[in-house]
Amino acid sequence: MRVGVPKEIKADENRVALTPSGAAALIAHDHEVIVERGAGRGSSIDDDAYVAAGAHLGAADVAWAAELVLMVKEPSGEELRHVRPELVLFTYLHLAANEPLTRVLIERRVRAVAYETIQLDDGTLPLLAPMSEVAGKLAVQAGAWCLQATNGGRGILLSGVAGVRPAKVVILGAGIAGTSACQVAVGVGAYVSILDVQPAKLRYVHDILGGHVTTVMSNRANIEEEVRSADLVIGTVLIPGAKAPKLLSRALVAAMRPGSALVDVSIDQGGCSETSRPTSHRDPIYVEEGVVHYCVTNMPGAVPHTATYALTNATLSYALALADRGFEDAIDADPALRRGVNVADGRIVHPGVAAAFAS
Ligand SMILES: NC(=O)c1ccc[n+]([C@@H]2O[C@H](COP(=O)([O-])OP(=O)(O)OC[C@H]3O[C@@H](n4cnc5c(N)ncnc54)[C@H](O)[C@@H]3O)[C@@H](O)[C@H]2O)c1
């Protein structure tokens, strides 16, 4: 099969949907890979690396002419003219929030498989997890930067030094992003506590990090006690399919020490603090109630090289299945991949997307 990898055109999107080693894997399965020139540049991957892997370079038109097109973000603008019947499109789509694109995919009878709805039998979302891991790990780095005096912070070094206490980091939510943040915060030597409503999640963190982290049941009183004394709060809570719960009231944020920091990873679901509002990589922080807030909605965009490798590690086996078996056979063989199909044969297939447009 011909597999195309266009360069992303969305603003500030520097990831690419396939790495050179991913291209080599597809080529080893007798597929032809066409990568748009410069597609990897934003992730610090040269065209030469794709050529060395056996891929062909071409213009956008050539990459889009392939039977299977791999992308990171949904097609938009100029890209929409390439969307045509029988095309298998594999990318993040987020269609429930994008009715115009959904209509185009239906009208043009595209077979659209969304990364974000591929779901294993246990309910987990394997193509969202790598980005939560990147965001969680990055949150500690972002928080350390917020705490620097030049950014309005208290001027605290997370690790402390000999004779000086480390910073106190409080992590709300012990899922993928929270556990990842916890590992980094413990690793740099901060004093870390982590809260969740699920005892099993806390037990897991306790097991992997032992005595280096304090696990605390999440409830109003415990959140207040932990947050008041925190230098850095990292919000990573998620209630699937719902807006993030507002665990931090404005009054609680105001009660934190001036120059403390809040990194709200949950901001893409509305944020877990009353004081959070979305920011961008170009202007990532603001100070409210004396606390430095970092609320970037696409945190992995700051580290596109790592994010590209993390994403493609997770997508490649599905891309290989689609290329090897063809769309119909591949989705018949794998229920997880089948749940990823959002639009096919001129209709919405995914129940969540259908529900979003039901009214
Ligand atoms: N800003 C970004 O760039 C970015 C990137 C990736 C993910 N995210 C977001 O990060 C959030 C977390 O993602 P994840 O994959 O780690 O989710 P997850 O489901 O693995 O973890 C969420 C955790 O929050 C816990 N939780 C729910 N309510 C709680 C409460 N009241 N108190 C304490 N804990 C509570 C859950 O029990 C769960 O363990 C999501 O909103 C996701 O969209 C943001």
Domain that holds residue 84: 2-117+304-356
Establish whether residue 267 lines the binding site of ligand 1, counting it when its CB lies within 6 angstroms of any ligand atom.
yes
Q: Which atom of ligand 1 is nearest to the CA of 265?
A: 1
On whether both 111 and 86 belong to a single domain, the answer is yes
On whether both 179 and 228 belong to a single domain, the answer is yes
List the structure tokens of 3.
């597999």
On whether both 135 and 210 belong to a single domain, the answer is yes
Q: Is residue 68 part of a domain?
A: yes
Establish whether residue 172 lines the binding site of ligand 1, counting it when its CB lies within 6 angstroms of any ligand atom.
yes
Tell which residue, 229, 284, 295, has the closest CA to residue 262. Answer: 295
CA 122 to ligand 1 center in whole angstroms: 17
Which among 294, 319, 341 is the end of a domain? 294
List the structure tokens of 134.
């990147």
Q: Which atom of ligand 1 is nearest to the CA of 195?
A: 33
CA 176 to ligand 1 center in whole angstroms: 7
On whether both 112 and 166 belong to a single domain, the answer is no
On whether both 139 and 284 belong to a single domain, the answer is yes
- Render pLDDT for 237-260 as a digit per residue (tens, 0 to 9): 998 767 889 999 999 999 999 999
On whether both 188 and 268 belong to a single domain, the answer is yes
Which among 275, 294, 313 is the end of a domain? 294
CA 178 to ligand 1 center in whole angstroms: 7
Establish whether residue 265 lines the binding site of ligand 1, counting it when its CB lies within 6 angstroms of any ligand atom.
yes
On whether both 139 and 277 belong to a single domain, the answer is yes
On whether both 175 and 287 belong to a single domain, the answer is yes
So which residues are the catalytic ones? 94, 268
- Render pLDDT for 166-197 as a digit per residue (tens, 0 to 9): 999 999 999 999 999 999 999 999 999 999 99
Strands 341-344, 347-348: pairing is: antiparallel
Q: Which amino acid is at 147?
A: L
Establish whether residue 197 lines the binding site of ligand 1, counting it when its CB lies within 6 angstroms of any ligand atom.
yes
Strands 261-264, 168-172: pairing is: unpaired
Residues 6+ apart with CB under 8 A from 107: 346
CA 71 to ligand 1 center in whole angstroms: 25
Lowest mean pLDDT among 95-104, 133-142, 159-168, 239-248: 239-248
Cα–Cα dist 229/99, whole Å? 45
Cα–Cα dist 114/112, whole Å? 6
On whether both 35 and 78 belong to a single domain, the answer is yes
- Render pLDDT for 141-159 as a digit per residue (tens, 0 to 9): 999 999 999 999 999 999 9
On whether both 73 and 39 belong to a single domain, the answer is yes
Q: State residue 211's pLDDT score.
A: 82
Contacts by residues 252-255 (CB-CB < 8 Å, ≥ 24 positions apart): 252/223, 252/224, 252/227, 252/228, 253/288, 253/289, 253/291, 254/289, 254/290, 255/227, 255/228
Tell which residue, 151, 68, 58, 149, has the closest CA to residue 321. Answer: 68
Average pLDDT, the chain: 96
On whether both 149 and 258 belong to a single domain, the answer is yes
Q: What is the DSSP string of 140-186?
A: HHHHHHHTSGGGTS----TT-BTTBPPPEEEEE--SHHHHHHHHHHH
* Total tally of structural domains belonging to the chain: 2
Q: How far is CA 121 from CA 124, 125, 187, in A?
A: 7, 10, 33
Q: Which amino acid is at 57?
A: L
The CATH number that applies at residue 319 is: 3.40.50.720
On whether both 202 and 278 belong to a single domain, the answer is yes
Cα–Cα dist 22/25, whole Å? 5
